[in-house]
């Protein structure tokens, strides 16, 4: 079964530390709060420099969808770009985010350490395995097709695969594929 999660239906909420806003794409269990989720996918807007929220026992994977973001840790600084790779780091390690040259939009995948793991991959076209957990449109409109079905997706829309499909998906456009495993 496939659930369409439209970006237009999401509500902006303040970050845990109050320094920005995020829009939850999906979480498991569905009604879980920030202290009780097994996994959570969100899209955040970073407009100003500031500390990232600390999440004890959480592993994070950050993918910049628009803009450039510098993440500063105690021992290093990493710069992420919209055309660059994802970046995984422990959510309980303090870091500061600084937009470089303007606002940033990022995809944030968080999993409870020891319960789940996540792999995030950015793709522009091709065949997607049926067991994929979620697809999030990264920029321009995208289309996916499986069998004789087709779905048009706007920027930041998502598709959550609740029960594995038997047919592979074909993707046309820019998207992030998220696989969450036990």
Does 6 fall in a domain? Answer: no
CATH at 87? 2.60.120.10
Where does a domain end: 63, 92, 114?
114
24: pLDDT strictly greater than 90 = yes
Its domain, for residue 159, covers 119-181
Could you tell me if 67 and 140 lie in one domain? no
Lowest mean pLDDT among 53-57, 77-81, 165-169: 165-169
| Cα-Cα-Cα-Cα dihedral sign, residues 137, 138, 144, 150 | positive
User: pLDDT over 70 for what percent of the chain?
Assistant: 90
Does 80 fall in a domain? Answer: yes
Where does a domain end: 114, 131, 151?
114
Q: Are 112 and 182 in contact (CB under 8 A)?
A: no
Does 90 fall in a domain? Answer: yes
Lowest mean pLDDT among 8-22, 57-71, 84-98, 168-182: 168-182
Does 55 fall in a domain? Answer: yes
pLDDT on residue 146: 73
Could you tell me if 97 and 160 lie in one domain? no
Does 3 fall in a domain? Answer: no
φ, ψ of residue 7 to 5 degrees: the values are -60, -35
Distance CA 43, CA 69 (A): 14
Number of domains in the chain: 2
């Amino acid at each position: 079964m496939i659930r369409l999660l439209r970006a237009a239906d999401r509500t902006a909420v303040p970050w845990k530390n109050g320094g920005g806003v995020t829009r939850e794409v999906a979480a498991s269990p569905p009604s879980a709060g920030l202290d009780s989720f097994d996994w959570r996918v969100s899209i955040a807007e970073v407009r100003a420099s500031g500390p990232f929220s600390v999440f004890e026992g959480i592993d994070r994977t950050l993918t910049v969808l628009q803009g450039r973001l510098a993440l500063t840790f105690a021992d290093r600084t990493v710069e992420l770009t919209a055309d660059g790779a994802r970046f995984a780091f422990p959510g309980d390690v303090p870091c500061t985010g600084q937009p470089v040259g303007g606002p940033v939009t990022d995809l944030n995948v968080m999993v409870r350490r020891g319960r789940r793991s996540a792999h995030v991959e950015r793709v522009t076209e091709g065949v997607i395995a049926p067991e994929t957990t979620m697809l999030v449109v990264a920029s321009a409109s995208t289309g996916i097709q499986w069998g004789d079905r087709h779905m048009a997706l706007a920027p930041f829309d998502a598709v959550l695969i609740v029960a594995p499909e038997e047919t592979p998906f074909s993707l046309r456009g820019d998207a992030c594929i998220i696989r969450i495993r036990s």
